[in-house]
Amino acid sequence: RTANGRSHVYTMVFDPKAEVQPEPTQLTNYPIDVSNLLFNQNLLMFSAEMYFDCNTMQCTADKNAEVAKRGANTYQIYDELMIRHWDVWYTQGSASHPFYQKIKQNEETKQLELDGDAVDVLLNQKLSSPPIEGGSDQFSISSDGKLIAFSVHAKNNEMAWTTKWDIYLV
């Protein structure tokens, strides 16, 4: 669901016996869009486009705002391959990164709440996950929520010549 022009995660306490269900409650409020959601009882996993030189989502949001200010009639110089895959253009200097976010249930309201900060698993890495061809099917969370697995594609000049993906376990 979207709010304030960005995609967010919403939750709701579903009561199968109730005639009317409550409205969804916004769970996340990150400064950038999130996608490719995966969830278990205590962990939310998702991806977001991050710039390689940014340590925070806010840094990426600020860079996105700078790019948007340029307007539609601008150009970009690409100095490495791959610049496009099928009908999707790559943003130079950024890639999709997997994040995990701990969650907990509020005992009183039974609503889910964030527990701490979201963690960029590939912080400052020139790697992409999920690769442009994939989605949440490229992630997995162990049943106990202690391990995550995800596929990764290197974001460098070699990516135009190889289909090599690696699987990381964290």
pLDDT tens, position by position, 42-85 = 899 999 999 989 999 999 999 999 988 888 776 777 776 666 55
| Residue 127, amino acid | L
What is the structure's pLDDT at 25? 87
User: Which parts of the chain are beta strand (E)?
Assistant: 2-3, 6-7, 10-11, 25-26, 35-40, 43-51, 84-85, 88-89, 94-105, 112-114, 119-120, 127-128, 139-141, 148-154, 166-169
- Buried residues in 31-66 as b, exposed as e (16+ CB within 10 A): bbbbebebbeeebbbbbbbbbbebeebeebbebbee
User: CA-to-CA distance for 60 and 165, rounded, in angstroms?
Assistant: 25
User: CA-to-CA distance for 164 and 153, rounded, in angstroms?
Assistant: 7
User: CA-to-CA distance for 56 and 77, rounded, in angstroms?
Assistant: 25
Rounded mean pLDDT, 101-107: 92
Beta bridge pairs of residue 145: none
**Confidence (pTM):** 0.83
